[in-house]
């Protein structure tokens, strides 16, 4: 080694063997550290003291639904997909949305059951849960073998219970009740006088928030109503009967048939189409309520934007 200049502050020399030598100016006393302690980590597992490159609290965007959970929850199940993503990979290697949240292109509403299972490794589902098959598919995607096994077992028990209830109901249907025997034969028919099956009565409320732009002095060049989303409120069974596949149940997927909900919305944005479906199901409009506000579209222009929220109440006797 060459002698140090008298006014130097620090020099670093790296010999062939795996040590790094430090020469501090003025003292001339060398010290050495192992090369491994001076190297930067190449992966989250190489950080000192068992630390990870991920934050302690992780934000996820799963199919548009935002979840916030601890990092240790995501790596609670070894060899699962989430464990592999958040323990073996770097944050920069994972896809993110525009706000920097880690993105997963899966069912965002069913992911809450996946996350609940990973918190305490227990499967707890509502009493009425029609999405069991879809949840099992999500568990298979996330490679949660224990959860897949529990869902398969519960699905088998549910199927056996349904078949036994169906058989018991068929046997009971073959036996006339005492009340039926005491009635005249003509009054035992359930269909209505016109030959159609009697439908349940009830109420459905349809709401929407719309906006439209009107030019100067309310003259031409008007941009007509723009409907963002049509909401449906009422009994779950009635809403499904009227709108069928056009009903989006993702915001309230496990609601029992006889319970009420205000979280459904339609998959289309045409208000008249909703009215047609209600009319075909025998509903009639009872009342309508609306509120509106007005504001200028911009500081320079004179176009006005009207925004309104409207609800229609329908009834079937």
- Least confident span in 74-88, 160-174, 235-249, 296-310: 160-174
Nearest alpha-carbon partner for 242 in 207, 193, 202, 288? 202
Distance CA 261, CA 129 (A): 15
What per-residue confidence (pLDDT) applies to 258?
A: 85
- Please tell me the distance from the alpha carbon of residue 241 to that of residue 72, in angstroms, as a whole number: 44
Looking at residues 42-48, what average pLDDT do you find? 48
What is the mean predicted confidence (pLDDT) over 203-210?
92
**SS3 category, 162:** helix
Is the Cβ–Cβ distance between 92 and 44 less than 8 Å? no
At 297, is the pLDDT very low, low, confident or very high (cuts 50, 70, 90)?
low
Q: Identify the pLDDT of residue 8.
A: 46
Residue with the larger pLDDT of the pair 9 and 189: 9
The reported pLDDT for the residue numbered 222 is 53
Terminal C-alpha separation, the chain: 101
Q: Name the most confidently modeled range: 13-22, 75-84, 218-227, 306-315.
A: 75-84
Average pLDDT score, the chain: 76
Query: CA quadruple 83, 88, 91, 93: dihedral positive or negative?
Result: negative
Using CA atoms, how far residue 8 sits from 4, 29, 144, in Å, is 7, 13, 60
- CB–CB of 310/289 below 8 Å? yes
Give the up-direction half-sphere exposure of residue 119: CA atoms within 13 A in the CB hemisphere.
Answer: 11
- At residue 33 the predicted structure's pLDDT band, cuts being 50, 70 and 90, is very low
Q: Higher model confidence: residue 240 or residue 9?
A: 240
Whether the per-residue pLDDT at 68 is higher than 90: the answer is yes
């Amino acid at each position: 080694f060459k002698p140090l200049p008298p006014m130097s502050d620090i020099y670093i020399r790296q010999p062939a063997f795996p040590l790094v030598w430090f020469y501090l100016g003025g003292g001339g006393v060398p010290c050495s550290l192992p090369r491994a302690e001076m190297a930067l980590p190449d992966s989250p597992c190489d950080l000192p003291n068992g630390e990870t490159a991920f934050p302690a609290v992780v934000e996820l965007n799963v199919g548009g639904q935002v979840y916030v959970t601890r990092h240790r929850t995501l790596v609670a199940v070894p060899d699962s997909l989430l464990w592999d993503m958040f323990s073996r990979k770097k944050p920069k290697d994972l896809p993110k949305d525009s706000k920097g949240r880690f993105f997963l292109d899966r069912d965002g509403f069913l992911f809450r059951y996946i996350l609940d299972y990973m918190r305490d490794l227990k499967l707890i589902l509502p009493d009425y849960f029609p999405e069991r098959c879809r949840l099992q598919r999500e568990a298979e995607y996330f490679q949660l073998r224990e959860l897949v096994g529990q869902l398969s077992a519960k699905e088998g028990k549910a199927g056996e219970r349904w078949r036994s209830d169906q058989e018991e109901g068929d046997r009971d249907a073959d036996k006339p009740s005492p009340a039926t025997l005491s009635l005249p034969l003509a009054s035992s028919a359930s269909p209505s006088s016109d030959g159609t099956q009697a439908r349940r009565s009830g109420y459905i409320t349809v709401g929407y928030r719309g906006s439209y732009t009107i030019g100067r002095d309310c003259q031409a060049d008007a941009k007509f109503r723009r409907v963002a989303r049509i909401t449906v409120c009422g009994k779950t069974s009635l809403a499904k009967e009227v709108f069928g596949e056009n009903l989006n149940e993702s915001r309230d997927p496990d609601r029992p048939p006889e319970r009420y909900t205000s979280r459904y919305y339609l998959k289309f944005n045409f208000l008249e189409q909703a009215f047609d479906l209600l009319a075909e199901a025998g509903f009639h409009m009872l009342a309508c309520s609306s509120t509106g506000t007005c504001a200028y579209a911009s500081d320079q222009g004179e176009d006005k934007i009207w925004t309104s929220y409207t609800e229609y109440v329908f009834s079937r006797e």
